[in-house]
């Protein structure tokens, strides 16, 4: 089985490819199938954005696709950056710029860390405006001293609950086992299997 993954984020592609390999499913990044301009993300929730992206690309391509919307919610910042995680330091911000902004925001408040969680919503669009979705989260805390070179985004600043290492210090397989995205992908596979049995 092959699934087209509509994302421009290489980190997401790597993780979902690796995770779905466990289930014998091949993930094809959308840019290997067609050149489609990314839609604007206007949703106020991860769920809305995942739905919007998946249905947009599926309609453009005329085939089933999955899309994912995810982000980091930091307690000390009232849940920010949330759906704005990829643009926390401004449109087209790099991971480094977003991380620097997060560190600044924590330090401004006199904090060295704060409870936080990563959230992931995945939507598989396969009929006009219909499909399947799943959600995953991982709780932990963010720190102000980056550590590690793996993963992407805020991983050098995020320590999962029960771990002494940041996500960026964990091997990909381990991150996938405990992460928001890994859990959402696994649940989606279970739903697909159930639907196939119906
Ligand atoms: P697509 O919309 O094309 O999929 P994107 O990177 O813009 O790519 P999102 O809008 O879903 O995707 O934003 C996700 C952001 O949340 C991502 O850029 C990181 O800043 C952060 N993020 C999500 N999952 C993460 C993870 O596993 N590790 C680190 N940061 C993560």
pLDDT tens column, 28-72: 999 999 999 999 899 999 999 999 999 999 999 999 999 999 999
- Domain of residue 193 covers 2-197
Q: What was the pLDDT predicted at 128? A: 81
Q: Kindly report the CATH number assigned to the domain that includes residue 153.
A: 3.90.950.10
Q: How confident is the model at residue 173 (pLDDT cuts 50, 70, 90)?
A: very high
Q: What was the pLDDT predicted at 93? A: 97
Does the model's pTM come out above 0.85? yes
Helix axes 10-21, 180-197, angle to 10 degrees: 50
Q: Ligand 1 in contact with 155 (CB < 6 A)? A: yes
- What is the largest distance, in Å, between two alpha-carbon atoms of the chain? 55
Q: Ligand 1 in contact with 151 (CB < 6 A)? A: yes
Number of folded domains in the chain?
A: 1
Q: Which atom of ligand 1 is nearest to 70's Cα?
A: 11
The CA 12 to ligand 1 mean position distance, Å, reads: 7
- List the beta bridge partners of residue 137: 119
Interatomic CA distance for residues 151 and 33, integer angstroms: 25
- List the beta bridge partners of residue 81: 73
Name the CA radius of gyration of the chain, rounded. Answer: 17
Q: Buried b / exposed e across 101-128, counting CB within 10 Å, b at 16+? A: ebbebbeeeeeebbebbbbbbbbbbeee
Does the pLDDT value for residue 20 go beyond 90? yes
The CA 162 to ligand 1 mean position distance, Å, reads: 23
């Amino acid at each position: 089985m092959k699934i087209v993954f509509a994302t421009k984020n290489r980190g997401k592609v790597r993780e979902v490819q690796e995770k779905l390999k466990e289930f014998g499913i091949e993930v094809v990044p959308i840019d290997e199938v067609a050149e489609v301009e990314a839609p604007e993300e206007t949703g106020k929730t991860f769920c809305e954005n995942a739905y919007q992206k998946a249905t947009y690309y599926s309609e453009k391509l005329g085939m089933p696709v999955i899309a994912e919307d995810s982000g980091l919610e930091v307690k000390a910042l009232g849940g920010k950056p949330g759906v704005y995680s990829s643009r926390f330091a401004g449109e087209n911000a790099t991971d480094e710029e977003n991380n620097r902004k997060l560190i600044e925001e924590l330090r401004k408040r006199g904090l060295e860390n704060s409870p936080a969680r990563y959230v992931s919503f995945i939507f598989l669009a396969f009929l006009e405006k219909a499909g399947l979705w799943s959600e995953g989260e991982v709780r932990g805390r963010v720190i102000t001293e980056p550590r590690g070179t793996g993963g992407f985004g805020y991983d050098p600043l995020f320590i999962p609950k029960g771990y002494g290492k940041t996500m960026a210090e964990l091997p990909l397989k381990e991150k996938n086992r405990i992460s928001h995205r890994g859990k959402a992908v696994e649940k989606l596979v279970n739903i697909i299997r159930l639907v196939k049995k119906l």
